[in-house]
Amino acid sequence: MATSSAPPGDPNPVNLGLDHLPTALIATIMTKLDVPSILSLASTCKTFRSCAVHILSFLPNFHLPDVAPSMDLLRPLLPPSNQYLKSVKVDCTRLDDSSLDLLIRPSLHELYLRNCADFSGKLLSQLGNSCKDLRFLYLSSVAEKRGRSIDVLHLEELLSGCTHLETLILMFDVSIFLRHNFARVWSLASSRLIALEIGYISSVMVTELLSPAVGPHQSSIHPQPSTLPNIQKLCLSVDYITDTMISTISKYLTSLTHLDLRDSPIMEPRMAFDLTNNGLQQINAHGKLKHLCLVRSQEIAPAYFKRVNDLGILLMADKCSDMESICLGGFCQVTDTGYKTILHSCSKLYKLRVFHGTHLTDLVFHDIVATSLSLTHVSLRWCKLLTNLAVASLASNGDLSTLDLRDCRNLGDEALRAINTLPKLKTLLMNGCDISDVGLSYLSKGSMKSLVSLSVRGCKRLTDKCISALFDGNSNQELRELDLSNLPNLSDAGVLLLAKSRVPIFELRMRQCPLIGDTSIMALASMRVDENVWCGSTLRLLDIFNCGGITQLSFRWLKKPYFPRLRWLGVTRSVNRDVVDALARSRPYMHVATRGEELGTDQWDDSDDMYLQDYEEDDEFEEWLLGEDTSDDEMEDAVDMADLFE
């Protein structure tokens, strides 16, 4: 804790406090911090608090993604006097239309609003009327709460008003808009729009949206230009990926470089509503495509692209020699021949992802060393015919940084021996693989030193020894995310070993581990990374949902001051509803999940190169949010948020 003044009678100028530092110097340093760090410093003494008040009046970026603030919290943090505000990121779970004037500023260039379920279509209208210089817009879950209305007229005001918009991400169901006006409204969109992402839209609406209108006295042979002629990146989740939609996209989006299409059919589609070899052949008609993703999800019902086979892949590959990233999911009729064609035709490919490759075998990668490929990201999820030999071949790509082999159940310890040779590996996902403690010990000799994220969820053969195998005297200080969920033989003893390793983990998942109990929570709460910092202060996410040994005792250790940086907690509410509810009330800015949902925030674009403060034992950021009393001698009384800026 910083001291704001020198001790009485101390003549030594070295002991002068912060009051004697130039305010401009303090303000300059604080402007390099993110918003939570600024607020944490402001809670320590009046000097920092005064500087924070001043900084918030001209701060260009206000990013608060991990906390769902209330209107009362935001009001003093977003003063109307700030005419320099360019970028805002906020979780709007606790906000509604009454906060529009607070969030929407004419000066904005970037706006990220997540969880806008309590907003109505007025949000879109006001953006169009006020934010004429907006370049980037992200909105999710708009008007999803019952009683909130949204109309195509609201969308019209947004598109006609934001004339400088370059990227538009609407992560909600836009099929609620009337179809007969939908395409016309999009003709008002900014000519600068180059990236469009939509959470859900029907394939028919996509076709109507992108197809140019033919006037009453105009020949269909010479149609007007496309509604969105300059789109370079298109990401859509639709009901069905069809030949007609692919043809329309390929024909009219002449500048397209990034195409991401996903569907989740509720039943097997008919020929007219499906993707076939003919549709695949039309992809990349203008030769500019660099990134392609076509995925048929299995979330709703088992469904595959049954009308596409190796011939379709061969026809597509002829036009995709410059492709850099390919993702294919649900192509059940494509065999090794089709996948090998991609590897041998796309010499610039660095990212390959295949989901539910039911006919994908080791032969695809048998001669990959003979290609000129330098793969950095490989994902082969649910490719159940793969064996250790495929991984051994892939390991020839020494630049691999991400390897996702989840649910490849034939992979074992020999696969880990090969993975151990990858010096740049950052992310390794081995969920459901047939690996043992011995296999994980191979990683400790090589790749473990570079890993940032490791998941061994559902690897049933693993025991407590896997922890000592991973951190055998060589603790990986780079590891930030560890998933040990669904390991029936992992107990408190294993977590104690993890605590002794002093690894500063940010995200720890141990859901559905029947032998994990109160001792694990106490160990994590009290473990030290070094002599001054608690491990609990590094954990941002802890998932202990449905762990068999968790009792009410654990909730005493989940209260403050333990786990001060924790923002996501997964527990079983049936342990004791009153205790869980009391914990949620005592830490209102922590997301407490009790229904088994997967934890974590959306993928915000954290491109800011700012210093992130490491919080100490007391969560000063949360003290600021709650207006709690501080321990500094200079802070005489607890200050409420509303009183802070008087």
503-513 residue pLDDT tens: 889 999 999 99
Q: Among 47, 156, 148, 54, which Cα is nearest to 95's? A: 148
Q: What is the reported pLDDT for 43?
A: 79
Give the Cα separation of 393 and 375 in Å (integer).
12
Q: What is the reported pLDDT for 601?
A: 56
Q: What is the reported pLDDT for 366?
A: 94
Q: What is the reported pLDDT for 532?
A: 61
Residues of the chain below pLDDT 50 = 1-6, 216-217, 602-618, 628-646
Q: Which residue has the tokens 């206000």?
A: 62
Work out whether strand 87-91 and strand 233-238 pair parallel, antiparallel, or are unpaired.
unpaired
CB hemisphere CA count around 46 (13 angstroms) = 12
Give the Cα separation of 285 and 268 in Å (integer).
28
pTM of the model: 0.88
Return the sign of the alpha-carbon dihedral for residues 599, 604, 609, 615: negative
Q: What is the reported pLDDT for 644?
A: 30
Q: What is the reported pLDDT for 614?
A: 39
DSSP type of residue 62 = E
Contacts of 458 (CB under 8 A, 6+ apart): 431, 432, 485, 486, 487
Q: What is the reported pLDDT for 1?
A: 41
Encode pLDDT of 79-131 as tens digits: 999 999 999 999 999 999 999 999 999 999 999 999 999 999 999 999 999 99
